Structure 1
Amino acid sequence: MTLLPDPVLSFYQLMVWLHIAVGTITLVLFWLPLRFPKGSPAHKRSGRYYANSMYFVAGSGLLLAVMVLVDPMYFKASLYRPDGNDEATTSAIRQFWSFLLFLCILILTNVSHAMAVLRVKNNIQKMRNIRYLAYPIMLFVSSAWVLYMGIKNTHMLYLAFSGIGLFSSVDTVRYCLRSAITRDDWMAAHIGNICGSGIGVYTAFFAFGGRSLFSDLGQWQLVFWIAPAIIGTFLISKTIKRYTTPSRPKTATN
C-alpha cells in the first residue's frame, strides 16, 4: 500500500522553500533602489520590487510562524526525542517562533508605513484609520510579548528587539496622529522604515540560519544577530540627514 504525503506538511514545506527563495532575492533587492537617483522611474520601480518581495517574505513567515505556534509537535516533530522533555522542547520552539512572528510583524509594519507615507505625503489625515494603524498596534502587542519572554528568560536578543519594536510601534502611531507633516517628515519616515525593514530581513536571516552557521560560537553568535540593527541604525541616520538637511549656502569671501 502506498502512503500518500500529508498535504498540510507538504504545503508547509512548500511555503518554507518559497519563503527562503524569495527572502534570498530580497536580501539583494534591498540594495537595488540605492543604485538609482531618488524619485527616478528606476528607483520607484526597483523599490516596488523590493516592497512586494518583502510583503511576501513577511506574510509567508507570519503564516509559517502561526502554523508552528498552533501545533509545534506536528510541524517540528523532528525536534522531539523519545528520551527528551516534550514540554521543554515545545516551550523552546514556541519562544523562538514567537520571536520570528514578531520580526515578521515588524517588517510588515515598516514596509507598510514606508509605502503609505509616499502615497499620502502631506495629507496626513488619510492615515488616521485602522488600515494604517492595525500594523503598529499588532507590533506593540507582539513587542510586549517578546519583552516578557526576554525578561523571563534573561534573553538579551529578545530584550533588545522588543525595545526596537515598542519604539517603532509608538513612533508610527504618533506619526499617523500628527496634525501636519512636512516633506522632510515623510521623507525621513520613508527612508527610516524602508531601511528598518531591511534590518528586519537581515536579522531574520541570521536568527534563522545563524543558529546553524554560527552555532560553534556560543553566545558570540548574538553579535551576528544584533549587528544588522546597529549598522542599519547608523546608516539610516546618515541617509535621512543626507536627504532632509538642506545644503548650507556658501559664505562669500572677500
Structure 2
Amino acid sequence: MTLVTIHIATGTVGLVTFWIPVGGRKGGANHRRFGRIFINTLLATGITAVGIATTTLLDPVATHPHLVEHAVFSDPLMVRAIFGWLMLYLATLTVNLAWHGRLALRHRKNHRATGTRTNNLLQIALLVASTTCLMQGYWVQQPMMMGLSVVGFATVATNYWFIFKPEPNPYDFIKEHIKSLVGAGISVYTAFFAFGAVRLMPELALTPGLWAVPLITGLTLIIYHQYAVTRKYQMRSVVAK
C-alpha cells in the first residue's frame, strides 16, 4: 500500500505535467521546469511500479484480493500475468524512456555519450522485460500482451540506433528527446487507463480499444513534433544557404 500511495502521487503529477512541455513553447522556462518535474516523477512512478509488480508476482491473490470474484481474473495466473509481468514491463519501459530522453538532451553535443553503463543496463532490462511479456502473453493467450511487447523491442532498437548513429543531424537529439519522453508519457497513460479501469470495470481492463487510445495519441504527438523539428531546421538550412 505504501508503494501504491507513492505510485499514485507521483503518477498523477506526471500525467498532469506531461502536457505542459508538450503543448507549451519549446525551450522556455516552463518547458524546462516542468520537463524536469515530469522526468523525475516518472522515474519514481516507474520504480514504485516495479515494486508493486514484484509483490504481485510473489503473491497475486493477496495483493489483488478484490479481483478474485471477477471471472476474468479468477485464475491467479491471469492476475500474475497482467498485474505482475505486464506491469513490470510497462514500468521498465517508462524508466527506460524517461532516462534515455534525459540523456539525449544532456549529451546533445555528443550522442555517443548517451550510451552510459546505466543506459545500457536499462536497454538489457527492457529487452528481458519485453521478451517475458511476449512469452507470458502467449502462455495465458493474451494477444494484447504480445502486441504491447513490440513497443519494448522497438524502443531498444531505436535507442541503440541513436546511440551508434555514425553522423547524426544536429537536431536528432531533439527528435530522440521527443520520442523518449512522449513515449514515457504513453506508457504511464496506458497503465493509468488499463489498471485504473480494473477498479471500476474489470471486464473492460483487457479491451484492446482502451489500451489503444494513449498509444495512438502518443504516436501522433511524436510524429507531429518530430516533423515540426525537422521542418524547422531544414528551413533554417535553406535560409543559411
Is TM more than 0.5 here? Answer: yes
Which TM-score band (shorter chain)? 0.7 to 0.9
Corresponding residue to 2:118 among 128, 131, 139? 131
Q: 1:151–1:159: 8 Å Cα contact kept in structure 2? A: yes
Question: Which TM-score applies when normalising by structure 1?
Answer: 0.82
Q: How far apart are residue 218 of structure 1 and its match?
A: 7.9
Q: 1:72–1:94: 8 Å Cα contact kept in structure 2? A: yes
Structure 1 residue runs without a partner (length 5+): 1-12
1:182 partner SS: coil
Aligned length: 233
Q: How far apart are residue 203 of structure 1 and its match?
A: 0.2
Q: 1:208 is matched by which residue type in structure 2?
A: F
Moved over 4 A (4+): 77-81, 216-219
Q: 2:25 is matched by which residue type in structure 1?
A: P
CA gap of 1:100–1:216, structure 2 versus 1, over 3 A, is closer
Q: How far apart are residue 78 of structure 1 and its match?
A: 5.4
CA gap of 1:57–1:121, structure 2 versus 1, over 3 A, is same
Matches within 5 A, 1:67-82: 67-77=55-65, 79=67
Q: Where does residue 222 of structure 2 map in the other structure?
A: 236
Measure, in 1, the Cα distance between the counterparts of 2:102 and 2:54: 25
Larger Rg: 1 or 2?
1
1:240 partner SS: helix
CA gap of 1:153–1:177, structure 2 versus 1, over 3 A, is same
Q: 2:194–2:205: 8 Å Cα contact kept in structure 1? A: no
Structure 2 residue runs without a partner (length 5+): none
Matches within 5 A, 1:41-190: 41-77=29-65, 79=67, 89-96=75-82, 97-190=84-177
Q: Where does residue 12 of structure 2 map in the other structure?
A: 24
Question: Cα deviations across residues 97-155 of structure 1 (Å, max 9, x unaligned)?
Answer: 21001000001111111110101113123233322211111111110111112233332
Q: 2:195–2:205: 8 Å Cα contact kept in structure 1? A: no
Question: Cα deviations across residues 50-86 of structure 1 (Å, max 9, x unaligned)?
Answer: 11111111111111111221233543455568xx9xx
Deviates more, 1:165-174 or 1:195-204: 165-174
Question: Cα deviations across residues 151-171 of structure 1 (Å, max 9, x unaligned)?
Answer: 333322112210111111122
